[in-house]
């Protein structure tokens, strides 16, 4: 029996989260096949073929599929999963994975499990509910498990000795009822939030979009990704794609530095699995200190430049 893994990528680079999916897939099935969908993305398929544990890569390309149309990719995954040999279909808990996998589950007439953080056995899964305030352990009775996984909770697979075989497969045509208009991507040169080893996040304490440059300078010095609290996003300091929290991105880096962030439950749900948490806040009562390994009660406008100077 096999597991199908939907590759996470931007048509140029395969995201490391895919490696975690491969390892998770091997806990549910004997073999793992990676499905790469998009446009002009053969390079991604090549990268996927070089992940240890992958036995095959399916490449489905179409010039009008760079934006990952859910209707068409869902149909492809349903067709691939309908071979009687598929035990699981996996994607990351990204906007893309969440957009597509519920469709796959519905068309296969099985349940979908979202944001899985642990696989206890082939039928038993753990996932956060209520914004991470509770963990639910669920048994799925379905013949095919359709899961989105929090990649940061799983170990990434390494590199293969020899690449797995690749096969081209047509992506189902669009029927014209959904048309891609445009995309406005931030195009930052910094690391992606989910995969970064260090994340520096700023909150409302920064006070303005201009002051957010303090966070960005520190991040660049450390090669870190930049994140933000919902308050900072709502105040317009940064774009919502940087929001760390239950309704934004969920990260678990080696080091998470929260600057000027009070630590609302919403935010904690997105970062509390980080290995080491540092909080810099002038309010000693801020809830962020209750989860921080190292807390510094200080004015961020003096502490952050000082920190930058000492690194």
Partner 1 sequence: MRILVAVKRTLDAYIKVRIKTDNSGVDLSNAKMAMNPFCEIALEEAVRLKEKGVASEVVVVSIGSDKVVEQLRAAMALGADRAIHVQATDDLESLSVAKLLKAVVGREQPSLILLGKQAIDSDNNQVGQMLAALCDLPQATFASSVEVSDGHVTVSREVDGGAQTLQLSLPAVVTADLRLNEPRYAKLPDIMKAKKKPVETLDAQALGVQLKTHLRSVKVSEPPLRKAGIKVQNVSELVARLRDEAKVLP
Q: How far is the CB of 106 from partner 1 (least distance, A)?
A: 4
* Residue 109 or 210 with smaller CB distance to partner 1: 109
Minimum Å gap between C-beta 291 and partner 1 is 5
Is there binding between residue 186 and partner 1 (CB under 8 A)?
Answer: yes
- In this complex, which beta carbon is closest to partner 1, that of residue 139 or of residue 162? 139
Q: Is the Cα dihedral 154, 243, 279, 220 positive or negative?
A: positive
262 binds partner 1 (CB under 8 A): no
Rg (CA), the chain: 20
CB of 56 to partner 1, least distance (A): 26
Q: What is the DSSP letter of 187?
A: -
Q: At what angle are helices 70-81 and 95-108 packed, to 10 degrees?
A: 50
User: Using CB under 8 A, which residues numbered 24 to 63 contact partner 1?
Assistant: none
**Segment 88 to 127, residues that bind partner 1, using CB under 8 A:** 94-96, 98-107, 109-115, 124, 127
Cα(152)–Cα(141) distance, integer angstroms: 26
| Residues 157 and 19 sit within 8 Å (Cβ to Cβ) | yes
Distance CA 232, CA 248 (A): 12
Q: How far is the CB of 111 from partner 1 (least distance, A)?
A: 4
Which of 53, 70, 163, 207 binds partner 1 (CB under 8 A)? It is 70
Closest CA to 237 of 249, 245, 246, 229: 229
138: left (phi over 0), alpha (psi -120 to 50) or beta: beta
Closer CB to partner 1, 124 or 159, in the complex: 124
Please report whether residue 189 would count as binding partner 1 according to CB under 8 A.
Answer: no
When the beta carbons of 49 and 199 are compared against partner 1, the nearer one is: 199
**Selected binder of partner 1 within 121, 134, 162, 189 (CB under 8 A):** 134
Distances in Å between the Cα of 102 and the Cα atoms of 26, 75, 249, 266, 298 are: 22, 12, 19, 24, 45
Tell whether residue 162 is a contact of partner 1 (CB under 8 A): no
153, 249, 130, 150: which is closest to 201 by C-alpha? 249
Total Cβ atoms within 10 A of residue 33: 22
Q: Does 6 bind partner 1 (CB under 8 A)?
A: no
Among residues 49 and 148, whose Cβ is nearest to partner 1? 148
Contact (Cβ atoms closer than 8 angstroms) between residue 87 and residue 2: yes
Q: How far is the CB of 78 from partner 1 (least distance, A)?
A: 9
141/161 with CB nearer partner 1 = 141
Residues 193-252 binding partner 1 (CB under 8 A) are 198, 222, 230, 239-241, 246-247, 249
Q: Quick one: 51 or 110, whose CB is closer to partner 1? A: 110
């Amino acid at each position: 029996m096999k597991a199908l893994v939907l590759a996470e990528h931007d048509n140029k680079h395969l995201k490391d989260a895919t490696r975690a999916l491969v390892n998770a897939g091997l806990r549910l099935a004997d073999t793992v096949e990676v499905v790469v969908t998009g446009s002009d993305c053969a390079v991604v398929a090549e990268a996927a073929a070089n992940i240890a544990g992958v036995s095959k890569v399916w490449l489905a390309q179409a010039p009008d599929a760079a934006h990952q149309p859910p209707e068409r990719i869902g149909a492809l995954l349903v067709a691939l999963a309908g071979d009687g040999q598929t035990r699981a279909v996996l994607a990351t808990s990204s906007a893309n994975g969440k957009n597509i996998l519920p469709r796959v589950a519905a068309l296969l007439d099985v349940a979908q499990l979202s944001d899985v953080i642990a696989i206890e056995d082939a039928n038993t899964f753990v996932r956060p509910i209520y914004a991470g305030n509770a963990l639910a352990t669920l048994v799925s009775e379905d013949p095919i498990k359709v899961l989105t996984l929090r990649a940061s909770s799983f170990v990434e697979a390494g590199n293969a000795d020899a690449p797995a075989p690749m096969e081209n497969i047509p992506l189902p045509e669009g029927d014209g009822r959904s048309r891609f208009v445009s995309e406005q991507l931030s195009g930052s040169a910094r690391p992606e939030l989910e995969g970064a080893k260090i994340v520096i996040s700023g909150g409302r304490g920064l006070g303005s979009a201009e002051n957010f440059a303090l966070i960005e300078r520190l991040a660049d010095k450390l090669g870190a990704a930049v994140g933000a609290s919902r308050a900072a996003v709502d105040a317009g300091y940064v774009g919502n794609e940087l929001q760390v929290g239950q309704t934004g991105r969920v990260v678990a880096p080696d080091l998470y530095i929260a600057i000027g962030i009070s630590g609302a439950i919403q935010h904690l749900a997105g970062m509390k699995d980080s290995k080491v948490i540092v909080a810099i806040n002038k309010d000693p009562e801020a809830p962020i200190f209750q989860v921080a390994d190292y807390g510094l009660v200080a004015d961020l406008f003096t502490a952050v430049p000082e920190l930058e100077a000492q690194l």
